Copies of this chain bind each other. A is one copy, B any other.
Amino acid sequence: MKKCDKFVVNALGRKVPTIVNGQEMVAFKGLRQHRPTGRKYAPQIPSCIDYPDDGNKTVATLAEALKKCGLKDGMTIGTHHHLRDGDMVSNTIFDIAHDMGVKDLVWFPSASFPCNDPMIKYLEDGTINRIEGSMNGPLGKFATYGGMKGCAVLRSHGGRVQSIQDGEVHIDIAVIAAPTADAFGNANALNGKSACGILGYSLADYMYADKVIVVTDNLIPFPCMPMQVQGNYVDYVVVVDQIGNPEKIVSGTTQLTRSPDRLLLAEWTAQFCDEAGLLRDGCGIQSGAGGTSLAVGIYFEQMLKERGQKARFAFGGSTKYLVRMLEDGVLDYILDAQAFDLEAVRSARENPNHIDLSVLQAYNYHSKGNYTSMTDIMILGATEIDMNFNGNVVTHSDGLLLHGIGGWQNCLHAKTVIIPIPLFRDRIPVLVDEVTTVCGPGELIDVIVTERGIAINPKRTDLIEKMKGSSLPIKTIQELKAEAEAICGKPDKPKFTDEAVAVIKWVDGTIIDTVWKLEK
């Protein structure tokens, strides 16, 4: 089977396959152009007949649970990434599969981390056919040079749950690492030595997978409440010594940037939001956990405090800075699918207004509305932005696939999307004629803030009007690019082969771009 076939040119002028890993797919048609037909995926109807009356679903080992689930060649295994770089469960699944001689698995994680690099050996020996999910560093490099047997499929967090809900990806076995669970399969991430706060990426997995295994290192008496995982969907529970390395689960290293350049970006971003009237009483904000984003958040907090105003909600990965806003009364609600540090874990446990929320609610484009489009201010990053404001977050200008999409595409739907980025990184300009990989159409990106000036998307005439007379250095994106190139020059373009190694999905399930194999 060819990895990819039947290439077409999509609405953004990108060449994309319409058959990927043997499955038909739709090319990107433009924003709001693809209306899904058909019905949600319908799992088999289970019956209490087949589950123990006393609710005890424990089995001795993960290997036994996988065997009971009928693990075999070609199956798709869903996992979540809440244990981040401390995950000790995902790799074990494939160690077991390898020992069983199972081949051609599809690994479908909500994200992968450096701790998952050992999976390269299973991609090489055929235990794993491909990863459908984010790849970073070595795994990404391995894929870019064509190392995977199958074609990678990269989806946003929202796109991942959309693909599950719509039946495009059918999870045969979902394995959910849970910091606390009972024998029935109810589980949460609030307590236990591996507490990671929230399990917001696992809801679609356990709702739609054929078989569901909960793996925990902290079994408590029924009922494990609050239940972030509902035991009614769970087949087996496995107790192990350790599901993760606590030091790496929540690194505790969400740190404010100390770089003067990054602080300037943050300051200008905040000032821009202030002058443009975006930061208002009752607004919804999202600013991520990167160093610059955190600094923007701090400025927001100060500005709101000074004015005696409050933000209504902040969505997204939670950090100690968001928790401080909540506890200081500058923010009504943290809506949270993922906790980034120990303070956030504590808050998820203690604060009733720190709400556990699945990406199925917030980000799934195939539902009756998303949270992101109700968010006023969205602070995001990018590896490249082009002259049409199209953004790239997965590849670098050298062509290497080094990042996942995360929630980036979903977040683009906010009312105002602002991207504070340095004008160049390691003397490589961030503003380019054309991005290496389009991950999001420029129509959705409103403002680029760099250390040498701020560019507003010409489509946002309202923002341009409001910023007239501002002391901020408002420039065109072309001017900013020219300044960068005057300093760094233009780097050579990477040399690609004509082999597709990954496709990038848009939030509606269509293919927005292709990642091509790099020449060695």
Residues on B with beta carbons closer than 8 Å to the beta carbon of A395: none
Q: How far is the CA of A370 from the CA of B46 in the complex (A)?
A: 12
Asked whether any CB of chain B lies closer than 8 Å to the CB of A369, the reply is: yes
A360, B232: Cβ atoms closer than 8 Å: yes
Residues on B with beta carbons closer than 8 Å to the beta carbon of A103: none
Supposing A36-B45, A49-B32 touch, asked if A369 and B231 sit within 8 A by C-beta, the answer is yes
Asked whether any CB of chain B lies closer than 8 Å to the CB of A308, the reply is: no
A221, B360: Cβ atoms closer than 8 Å: no
Cross-chain contact of A47 among B48, B226, B333, B365 (Cβ < 8 A) = B365
Measured as residues with beta carbon below 8 angstroms from the partner, the interface class of chain A is 35 or more
A46, B333: Cβ atoms closer than 8 Å: no
Q: List 27 A-B contacts (CB under 8 A).
A: A35-B47, A35-B49, A38-B45, A39-B43, A40-B45, A45-B366, A47-B508, A48-B366, A48-B370, A51-B368, A52-B369, A53-B374, A54-B374, A55-B371, A184-B369, A212-B368, A223-B371, A225-B353, A226-B355, A232-B360, A232-B364, A232-B368, A232-B369, A232-B370, A233-B367, A233-B368, A234-B368
Supposing A184-B374, A221-B282 touch, asked if A42 and B42 sit within 8 A by C-beta, the answer is yes
- In the assembled complex, the CB of A350 is this many whole angstroms from the nearest CB of chain B, namely 9
Residues on B with beta carbons closer than 8 Å to the beta carbon of A284: 222
Q: How far is the CA of A355 from the CA of B313 in the complex (A)?
A: 24
B360, A166: Cβ atoms closer than 8 Å: no
SS of A interface (majority)? loop
Q: How far is the CA of A47 from the CA of B165 in the complex (A)?
A: 12
Least CB separation from A226: chain B residue: B355
The proximity string for A residues 226-240 relative to B, scoring 1 for CB distances below 8 Å and 0 otherwise, is 100011111100000
Asked whether any CB of chain B lies closer than 8 Å to the CB of A461, the reply is: no
B48, A367: Cβ atoms closer than 8 Å: yes
Contacting B at CB under 8 A, from A197-253, are 212, 221-223, 225-226, 230-235
Residues on B with beta carbons closer than 8 Å to the beta carbon of A335: 223, 225
Least CB separation from A235: chain B residue: B368
Least CB separation from A46: chain B residue: B368
Asked whether any CB of chain B lies closer than 8 Å to the CB of A44, the reply is: yes
Supposing A184-B374, A360-B232 touch, asked if A369 and B57 sit within 8 A by C-beta, the answer is yes
Asked whether any CB of chain B lies closer than 8 Å to the CB of A260, the reply is: no
Residues on B with beta carbons closer than 8 Å to the beta carbon of A353: 225
Cross-chain contact of A55 among B48, B352, B360, B373 (Cβ < 8 A) = B373
- In the assembled complex, the CB of A505 is this many whole angstroms from the nearest CB of chain B, namely 15
- In the assembled complex, the CB of A190 is this many whole angstroms from the nearest CB of chain B, namely 11
Residues on B with beta carbons closer than 8 Å to the beta carbon of A508: 47
B230, A48: Cβ atoms closer than 8 Å: no
- In the assembled complex, the CB of A466 is this many whole angstroms from the nearest CB of chain B, namely 19
Supposing A52-B369, A231-B369, A374-B54 touch, asked if A312 and B221 sit within 8 A by C-beta, the answer is yes
Residues on B with beta carbons closer than 8 Å to the beta carbon of A368: 46, 48, 50-51, 185, 212, 231-235
